[in-house]
Structure 1
Amino acid sequence: MSDPILPDIILHHYATSPFSEKLRLALGYKQLAWKSVIIPNIAPKPDLLELTGGYRRTPVLQIGADIYCDTALIFDVLEHLQPMPSLYPEPSKGMARTLAQWADSTLFWAAMAHNLGPKGAAHLFAGAPPEALKAFGDDRKAMSTGMLRLRPADALPAYRSYLRRLSDMLDDGPYLLGELPCVADFSAYHPLWFTRTRVPPMAGVLDATPAVLDWMDRMAAIGHCTMEKIRSADAIETAAQAQPVPVVDAPFQDDHGIPLGSRVTIAAESFGTEPTEGELVAATRMHYTLRRTGERVGTVHVHFPRIGYVLKQVETT
């Protein structure tokens, strides 16, 4: 029996995005070929928003006319497309998801507050005009309205402590939860990758944990599989020529008193809280799906995880 033909996987990302590196490595681990669309690292992002309807965090995964937001959900999509090797190996699946959530939030923000301190930012934007640094800072400030942001001096001791904890986890095996990498490894790796590869002047913090450095070498060796560059216009045309995968027998979990077919918005709880509006066509225990229409993209389904996102019904007048 021949292997099933997998659909084209389109990744909307940019090179220095930590969460994009998390996903690029997962594609490599799954040996899934993909197509690359490079998006701006700050607003405006008109072609991306044509697909998502508002969500502008990076990365976004596209398969035809289905648009997947947030790496927590995207990892589940990859697991469905290519079950082996698993990102959630037994018997530690629950621990892996919990550790990944911590790494994508608490560890990430401590690491990035350290990474983008004055010395790190100066290295990252070396040679760029001053207005580029200002534009980046203004963009991230707008995305983090209302968030408590660590100062570099407060972030550094926390980052050091978290690195020691990761090192302790590596005492008994090559990866955080055993002999094989899992979702927790990819989640913990990407902010450290930024420290090591994007802001080397800040990478001395890693030297006190050589076991973590060795683990990072193992993670980097996974690679990104094969990639083909395409234009954002090509991705939009792909969506316009496709139809979203029908929502069939998706169990409806109603926790809001909002029926399917309602006009709703979905937005991240924090950081990048721009809402996406559309028709609620699925609300399972794990994710939401909105149907929306764009002028150039036609009808698409935009998918979000439940955890970390807020669902609201659009008030009609």
Structure 2
Amino acid sequence: MADLIFHHYQNSPFSEKIRLVFGYKRLAWKSVFIPPVMPKPNLTALTGGYRRTPVLQIGADIYCDTALIADVLERIVPEPALYPAEVEGQARILAQWADDTLFWTVIGYVFQPVAIPCLLGPLTPEQMQAFGADRAAMRKAPRMTVAEATGNLKAYLHRLENMLTGGKPFLLGAQASIADFSVYHCLWFVQLAQPLAGILDDAPRLKEWSARMAAFGHGQPEKLRDSDALDIARNAEPASADAPVVDTHGIAIGEQVSIMPTDYALDPVQGELVLSTATEWAVRRSDPQAGTVVVHFPRVGFQMKKS
């Protein structure tokens, strides 16, 4: 199997989700650190413009969005499972709620002045302004007020605490699932915001669960330069995309399309449609730095149209 190359930055919550999956599945992986704000020239050379963090690279195949990345890792290493058969539907739905509703509630809560140095490190006023402008450009909807986020987060923590009653080690039972990893990365970000992390004190079972999750670790990372990742893509061939076609758009394989998220960071990626399954789209595109690559997206949370 080609190396798993993971493009991320240290304080990225969604990156922490996948780093912990690497640990859960005891995987070795190559770590490429990327800037937290645009421009990200070596990353977008691979993705065609997709700018969200993180991104998984396997040779010349580029996987966007942690929901799809988790599916890919599950295909490569099925055990221990992220989607135990008896709770797969529940796990996927709870994970989607955590990655969207819980995540944006946490963002509204933690980005208070007292906690920003813990989340971003010491920044100059110019760097802070650049970060704010970058994130404003990513998300068009207004951020939740601190008061609303605080109230909602307390309610969600109470509900999650309730899910751990009866001595269950994980949210859906005896085995961890994708739901645990999606909830965890949100609460990891709350813990990172140290002056505000006391909100977790009223959820002792959840704090114990969080420590249990953290114990999975991050697997075996090894640093890799972003220029080397580009070389690997340029010298590799994308994997075969032979899969049953599911067409809900009236768009045939081989047509030129653009794909982008439906919620934020609406940067379209254009290319030739080479994969259209019930759960995934992929486009082939060429770049002077990265060569010919195939960029993959999940269907849920993304939109596609003819170019």
- TM-score, normalised on structure 1? 0.95
1:3 is matched with none
Specify the SS of the correspondent of 2:158.
helix
1:279 is matched with 272
Is 1:94–2:74 an aligned residue pair?
A: no
Shift in Å at residue 90 of structure 1? 2.1
1:120 is aligned with what amino acid?
A: A
- Cα distance in 2 for partners of 1:123, 1:91 equals 39
2:138 is matched with 143
Contact 2:117/2:123 (<8 A) preserved: no
- Cα distance in 2 for partners of 1:191, 1:76 equals 19
Is 1:157–2:151 an aligned residue pair?
A: yes
CA deviations 1:179-227 (Å, max 9, x no partner) are 111000000000110111x210110110110111000000000000111
- Cα distance in 2 for partners of 1:271, 1:277 equals 17
Specify the SS of the correspondent of 1:40.
coil
**For 2:209, which of 205, 212, 215 is the aligned residue?**
215
1:126/1:288 CA distance change after superposition, 3 Å: closer
Is 1:294–2:287 an aligned residue pair?
A: yes
- Cα distance in 2 for partners of 1:219, 1:15 equals 18
Shift in Å at residue 159 of structure 1? 0.5
Q: In angstroms, what is the RMSD of aligned CA positions?
A: 1.0
Specify the SS of the correspondent of 1:310.
strand
Q: Percent same amino acid at aligned positions? A: 51
**For 1:267, which of 260, 264, 287 is the aligned residue?**
260
Is 1:77–2:72 an aligned residue pair?
A: yes
Contact 2:49/2:268 (<8 A) preserved: yes
1:20 is matched with 15
- Cα distance in 2 for partners of 1:310, 1:267 equals 6
1:65 is matched with 60
Shift in Å at residue 124 of structure 1? 3.2
- Cα distance in 1 for partners of 2:75, 2:120 equals 39
Give 1:1-317 correspondences, 5 Å limit. 6-125=1-120, 127-145=122-140, 147-172=141-166, 173-196=168-191, 198-248=192-242, 250-314=243-307
1:16/1:123 CA distance change after superposition, 3 Å: closer
Contact 2:95/2:180 (<8 A) preserved: yes
- Cα distance in 2 for partners of 1:123, 1:9 equals 29
Unpaired segments of 5 or more residues in structure 2? none
- Cα distance in 1 for partners of 2:79, 2:226 equals 30
- TM-score, normalised on structure 2? 0.98
